[in-house]
Amino acid sequence: MNNSTLVYTDDVSGSAAPFSADMDRWFEHKFQEQMEKREAEKIPSMSIVVTKGTLDWAYPPFILASSAAALGWQVSLFFTFYGLSLLKRDLDLSLSPIGNPAMPMKMPFGPEWFQAIDWKVPNAVMGNVPGFEKFASSMMKRTLNNKGVASIEELREISVEAGVNLIACQMTVDLFGWSLDDFIPEVREWVGATSFLPTAQGSDVSLFI
């Protein structure tokens, strides 16, 4: 029996190479080709756990969700504890300046140089002046409106229209004694953390806000 090694001939150079090496290169090329195709066809996904219900903390999840959905991503928001209030039919959001010491106070009126000032209000004032939280919330809402920033209601509607999955924590509903009628009908699911975790695990991006 002939013990010679099986070779192939390169049509361009006329040189010979082992058949097994040629097959390795062909397989590597096909594997890389399929992986690139799979990556190109893959739809990115993002999951966000929403835990805060104040005006300032409501913006990040909805801005990120609506932006990602606009790019064609699959997005799921899981609203739990105080974050669940962002899914209520009627929103009356406020902020807590005393809980955000790095947050500057901006005045939404007057000349530009006056509006540009970062007012550093001491915690003693914010915590002891009656009605300061309501005042700060109204100033923030007016500033957002003056700058053309969409409201939370608008961002929520945009997110829904873009196909974002709004998922509510059933445990939180039971904990605070809320009714399902308190919430917008666009809520996709009422589940617990164990039902949402597999979604988060399979996402390309997972955030906790």
Residues 6+ apart with CB under 8 A from 172: 79, 80, 81, 84, 178
pLDDT tens-digit series, residues 144-178: 787 788 999 999 999 999 999 999 999 999 999 99
Residue 35 shares a structural domain with residue 81: no
Tokens matching residue 71: 């790019």
Q: Is 104 exposed, middle or buried (0-12, 13-18, 19+ CB in 10 A)?
A: exposed
Residue 156 lies in a domain: yes
- Do 100 and 192 sit in the same domain of this protein? yes
Assess whether 35 and 88 both reside in one domain: no
Q: 């209601």: which residue's tokens?
A: 153
Could you give the percent of the chain with pLDDT greater than 90?
48
Indicate if 25 and 56 belong to the same structural domain.
no
CA triple 94-200-194, angle to 5 deg: 90
What are residue 48's DSSP bridge partners?
Answer: 77, 207
Structural domain count of the chain: 2
- Regarding whether 127 and 35 lie in a shared domain, the answer is no
Residue 118 lies in a domain: yes
Q: Please, which pLDDT band fits residue 17 given cuts at 50, 70 and 90? A: low
Query: Do the domain assignments include residue 189?
Result: yes
- pLDDT for 122 beyond 60: no
Q: Is residue 23 part of a domain?
A: yes
- Tokens 């090329």 belong to 29
What count of other Cβ atoms lies within 10 Å of the Cβ of residue 59?
A: 18
Domain check: are 91 and 31 in the same one? no
Residue 1 belongs to some domain of the structure: no
| 2 is a domain residue | no
- Phi, psi for residue 118 in degrees, rounded to 5: -90, 110
Does 66 score more than 70 pLDDT?
yes
Q: Judge if 18 and 109 occupy the same domain.
A: no
Domain that residue 11 falls in:
7-40
**pLDDT level of residue 6 (50, 70, 90 thresholds):** very low
Note whether 22 and 87 are same-domain residues.
no
Average pLDDT, the chain: 80
Same domain, 101 and 22: no
**120 and 196 assigned to the same domain:** yes
What is the predicted pLDDT for the residue at 81?
95
Please state the φ and ψ torsions of residue 115, each to the nearest 5 degrees: -70, -25
Note whether 175 and 105 are same-domain residues: yes
Q: Is the full-model pTM beyond 0.75?
A: no
Residues 55 and 33 in one domain: no
Of the listed ranges 19-23, 40-44, 61-65, 201-205, the least confidently predicted one is 19-23
Is residue 35 predicted with pLDDT exceeding 80?
no
CATH number (domain holding residue 68): 3.40.1260.10
Rounded CA separation 32/121 (Å): 59
